């Protein structure tokens, strides 16, 4: 079974400075526009499977949501779709500073 690594907020921020790393925000578009992290990519979880073709499998993805629940599902979807560099943010936008 393929696995992803869960990162805390400090680890997420450290990884984001690396080239080819994308913070994938899987909240709804409405949630994203209320509050979002600069330079994150928004693909709502309910659209991810059909829009996964928009993503580059050579990049590193950190899945991110409101509290850390939907992002776990998103990480699993990416792994099932053949992505290999997948991480999940333990904390969501509620705790983002």
Q: Which residues are catalytic?
A: 65
3-state helix, strand, coil in the chain (%, to 5): 40, 20, 40
């Amino acid at each position: 079974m393929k696995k992803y690594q869960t990162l805390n907020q400090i680890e997420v921020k450290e990884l984001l400075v690396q080239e080819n790393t994308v913070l994938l925000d899987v909240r709804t578009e409405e949630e994203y526009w209320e509050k979002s992290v600069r330079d994150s990519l928004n693909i709502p979880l309910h659209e991810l499977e059909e829009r996964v073709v928009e993503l580059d499998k050579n990049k590193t993805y950190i899945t991110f949501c409101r509290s850390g629940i939907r992002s776990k599902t998103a990480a699993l979807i990416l792994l099932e779709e053949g992505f290999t560099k997948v991480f999940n943010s333990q904390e969501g936008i509620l705790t983002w500073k």
